[in-house]
């Protein structure tokens, strides 16, 4: 070891790497966009990755200085709905227009078709028993894949009318299933079957005991992605429509079944541009990691918000990002579905929940 090296002065390697990451944060902001870089993983990326950008000192603890964003797969038309299966060590995601779900294996990076046709499945999650819960645009239903491969319909109608097109879904520790129904999958044939929206756009809960379905809020114009806070006392919901669009709202969760005290959490305006959020996830510290799209170069990717709503970090991607989840053995690998591709990056954050 070089005696002049910082590693020989008693400074830990971990501390040294964090210093590098922190020092490079302001530099990265000043650099031109690197989204034109070669994403084939065949060319080297200089550490720290300049597309992992610190906007606030609080992001320094989550930004690793010796890792990079990787594109694991490309070839989808509109990639969505990533969900990590911890037991099987694989990621499932949706390619909605191609009517299929894909699977990426952690052991060797192999990608294969998981399910086709998939009824234009959008958002998915795994429940506490390791079963895949999915929102099917094509059937306007929320369904569960049992361990033996059979399909159970959990929700397809409300008040005698079919759902618009369930979009994203999360599970609560009590077994309740919460999902959004904005109707995007029924507005065009590209992502489902075009047809009328017979219900007011809303967020629903399926009771784990009796299967009854209840509206938890219908005040949002187009409720989209959603996630709980680490302690399940808050529910964050993305609104992608209305007169004040592209905001993330937050509610207090009462008795695990109801919502109250709605308020705006953050706007998705960034550097004078208004793109939008879609899928969101919380880490164990209560930060909200949000996909970001439709803002173009220097906007699209992942925006990270502290619990107080401050935007603290930005992971820049060359494609519009639709959704994300935490996975890997330690839940410290962020997977992002963005337009045609699947991306991943290690962070020093851990996902708060199963996905």
With 0.75 as the threshold, say if the pTM is over it: yes
pLDDT for the residue numbered 245: 58
Single out the residue of 104, 107, 135 nearest to residue 120, CA to CA. 135
Q: What is the mean pLDDT of residues 309-337?
A: 98
Q: How confident is the model at residue 4 (pLDDT cuts 50, 70, 90)?
A: very low
In the chain, where are the structural domains located?
69-346
Give residue for tokens 């099987």: 88
pLDDT for the residue numbered 5: 35
* Whether residue 144 has pLDDT greater than 50: yes
Q: Would you say 290 and 311 are in contact if contact means Cβ atoms under 8 Å apart?
A: no
| pLDDT tens digits along 54-75 | 999 999 999 999 999 999 999 9
pLDDT for the residue numbered 43: 86
**Sheet of 223-228: strands edge to edge?**
223-228, 234-239, 247-254, 258-267
The arrangement of secondary structure in 69-346, i.e. its CATH architecture, is 6 Propeller (2.120)
Q: Would you say 81 and 95 are in contact if contact means Cβ atoms under 8 Å apart?
A: no
* Whether residue 31 has pLDDT greater than 60: no
């Amino acid at each position: 070891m070089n005696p002049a090296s910082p590693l020989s002065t008693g400074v830990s390697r971990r501390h040294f790497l964090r210093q590098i990451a922190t020092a490079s944060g302001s530099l990265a902001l000043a650099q031109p966009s690197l989204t034109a870089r070669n994403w084939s993983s065949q060319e080297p990326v200089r550490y720290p990755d300049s597309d992992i950008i610190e906007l606030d000192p609080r992001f320094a603890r989550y930004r690793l200085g010796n890792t990079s964003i990787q594109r694991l797969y490309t070839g989808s038309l509109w990639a969505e709905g990533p969900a990590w299966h911890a037991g099987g060590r694989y990621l499932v995601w949706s390619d909605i227009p191609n009517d299929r779900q894909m699977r990426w294996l952690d052991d060797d990076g192999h990608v294969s078709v998981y399910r086709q046709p998939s009824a234009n499945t959008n958002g998915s999650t795994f429940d506490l028993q390791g079963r895949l819960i999915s929102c099917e645009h094509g059937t306007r239903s929320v369904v569960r894949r049992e361990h033996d491969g059979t399909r159970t319909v959990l929700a397809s109608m409300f008040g005698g009318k079919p759902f618009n097109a369930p979009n994203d879904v999360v599970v609560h520790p009590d077994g309740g299933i919460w999902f959004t129904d904005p109707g995007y999958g029924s507005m065009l044939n590209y992502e489902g079957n075009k047809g009328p929206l017979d219900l007011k756009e809303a967020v629903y809960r399926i009771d784990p005991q009796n299967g009854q379905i209840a509206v938890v809020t219908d005040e949002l114009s187009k409720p989209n992605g959603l996630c709980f806070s680490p302690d399940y006392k808050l529910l964050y919901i993305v609104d992608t429509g209305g007169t004040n669009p592209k905001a993330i709202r937050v509610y207090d969760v009462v008795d695990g079944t109801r919502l109250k005290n709605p308020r705006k959490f953050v706007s998705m305006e960034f550097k004078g541009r208004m793109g939008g959020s879609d899928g969101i996830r919380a880490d164990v510290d209560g930060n909200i990691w949000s996909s970001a799209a439709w803002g173009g170069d220097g906007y699209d990717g992942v925006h990270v918000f502290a619990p107080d709503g401050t935007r603290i970090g930005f992971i820049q991607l060359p494609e519009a990002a639709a959704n994300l989840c935490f996975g890997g053995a330690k839940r410290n690998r962020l997977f992002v579905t963005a337009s045609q591709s699947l991306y991943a990056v290690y962070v020093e954050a851990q996902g708060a929940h199963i996905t």
